[in-house]
Amino acid sequence: MLASVRPRDIAGKTRRRIAADELAELINVEAKIKKATAELKAIVLARGSTLMDIHGVGPVVAARILADVGDIARFADRNRFASWTGTAPLDASSGEQNRHRLSRAGNRRMNHMIHIAAVTQLRVDTDGRTYYRRKRTEGKKSLEALRCLKRRISDVIYRQLVADAERVAGAGPGGHCGASQESSAADLPPHIGTSDQPLPGPAGQTLRPASTSRKTRGEDLAATG
């Protein structure tokens, strides 16, 4: 479209030049993003993670989850994990109305990653969207149904992390064994609950590429994902 513009006056030529410079910068940024995403994907796979099998979880989201979670054994069960991710709604029932409200507790960065996965699932025909629509037909408002979906995705992520940890531990040093299965937000039975137990402490660093020369760059990418 820009190539078809042929201004004759000075102002028009200046605007075209500025637009061309902006476009060149955008193309350069897009190339950098693609390169960074590819590096993150390699790091996630090197960790033996199958988080990217979950619909809506890409390299950036998976890297952020691994970096923040650290050792999944810190969490006794999926309820504790949901409390930490801020996806365990708080009971706000009144009389005959069974309602839950948003919890502001937990790791908001992790909550945002789960939100990205949930919105992505809603965009296409997935089990997550089917689950969301079922909640809507049950009388839940859009935000309430979205919170239910986010809790369901939190449970799926927890189960995937546990399975990955067990598989890597079973493989021992030198490689990984087994193959992952496609995971979705409808794999687990519906459950909404909270935990009043204390939350685990901060996780240690977990995303470390094999090459020492690329260590700092890989960790910086995971931290900004």
Q: How far apart are CA 86 and CA 114, in angstroms?
A: 10
Percentage with pLDDT > 70 across the chain:
68
Q: What is the pLDDT of residues 56-99, one digit of tens each?
A: 999 999 999 999 999 999 999 999 999 999 998 766 555 666 65
- Predicted confidence at residue 88, as pLDDT, reads 85
Q: Which of 108-117, 181-190, 191-200 has the lowest mean pLDDT?
A: 191-200
User: For residue 167, what are the contacts with CB-CB under 8 A and spacing of at least 6?
Assistant: 48, 176, 177, 178
Band of the pLDDT at 177, cuts 50, 70, 90?
A: very low
- Predicted confidence at residue 101, as pLDDT, reads 56
**What does the DSSP assignment read for 25-91?**
HHHHHHHHHHHHHHHHHHHHHHTT--GGGBTT--HHHHHHHHHHH--GGGSSSHHHHHHHHT-SPEE
- Predicted confidence at residue 196, as pLDDT, reads 38
* pTM of the model as a whole: 0.67
Beta bridge partners of residue 54, listed in sequence order:
183
Q: Between helices 10-46 and 215-224, what is the axis angle to 10°?
A: 110
Average pLDDT, the chain: 79
In one-letter notation, the amino acid at residue 178 is G
Band of the pLDDT at 153, cuts 50, 70, 90?
A: very high
- Predicted confidence at residue 125, as pLDDT, reads 92
- Predicted confidence at residue 107, as pLDDT, reads 85
> Which value, to the nearest 10 degrees, does the dihedral of the CA atoms of residues 135, 138, 140, 142 take?
50
Band of the pLDDT at 10, cuts 50, 70, 90?
A: very high
Question: How many other C-beta atoms are found inside a 10 Å radius of the C-beta of residue 41?
Answer: 16
- Average pLDDT (112-119) is 95
In one-letter notation, the amino acid at residue 204 is G
Q: How far apart are CA 153 and CA 121, in angstroms?
A: 10
pLDDT at 6 over 80: yes
Question: How many other C-beta atoms are found inside a 10 Å radius of the C-beta of residue 72?
Answer: 19
